[in-house]
Amino acid sequence: MQDVKKLSLPLSETDVRSLRAGDLVTLTGEIVITAGMPTHERMLDYLRRGEPLPIDLKGAALLHLGGYSEETEGGLDLVYMNPTTSTRFNPYMPELIRALGLRVTGGKGGLDAASAAAMQEVGCVYLSFLGGGCTLLSQAIREVKAVAWNDLIVHYRLTRLQVEDLGPATVGIDAHGRSLYEAGAHTAADRLPAILDGLAAARASAPSAV
């Protein structure tokens, strides 16, 4: 069975570049989550105008995790969280990764080649979390530390959490340009002609319908 690397946040660039695509990891420390495209647009707007973000994301772990929360008198009670599809954020992530020097991002579904190039440049990894794994992931929540942009619906807000052993997650894209998603796409493309030939042969040999 593959060993799981227990990572303590924040990570240094050296820590990040020691990881390889396919590694299994857990996270302990502070993460920031959001599942909102408007949130990503607003982050870029702030950065382009030189306005500080309400939650510091320099060198942080920004994860595409949403979920169900309940607002309380003391703030926000995050009941559970679950990964959302990161590919929706491809137009925003290269600039965010570079501008913020992100060390970790993640969700499900991966990111595109432009994001992977930015990750290789600054030293950042993409973590793939189990889709539908909210029960497992939610067990890692220890405390809601801060919530920003309360005008947005709850799972779009920037939420800073303390987590313990969040995961396991797979390093889907590492800081050396290796991507499990890209490798999988190439493998599928290489196998496609043989699959189509096999299907054609099967159809040709099948008895004709009466």
Q: In whole angstroms, what is the distance from residue 203 CA to residue 188 CA?
A: 22
Map out the domains of the chain with their CATH numbers. 4-179 (3.20.130.10)
| β-sheet bridge partners, residue 83 | 65
Strands in 84-197 per DSSP E: 104-107, 125-128, 141-148, 158-173
Q: In whole angstroms, what is the distance from residue 134 CA to residue 112 CA?
A: 25
pLDDT in tens, 132-166: 788 889 999 999 999 999 999 989 999 999 999 99
pLDDT in tens, 14-71: 999 999 999 999 999 999 999 999 999 999 999 999 999 999 999 999 999 998 777 7
pLDDT of residue 196: 47
pLDDT of residue 193: 56
Mean pLDDT of 158-183: 93
Cβ atoms of 155 and 163 within 8 Å: the answer is: no
pLDDT of residue 188: 40
Residue 80 has pLDDT above 60, yes or no: yes
Query: Which has more pLDDT, 1 or 159?
Result: 159
- Return the SS3 of 158: strand
Residue 190 has pLDDT above 50, yes or no: no
Environment class of residue 162 by beta-carbon count within 10 Å: exposed (0-12), middle (13-18) or buried (19+)?
middle
Phi and psi at 77, nearest 5°, equal -110, 110
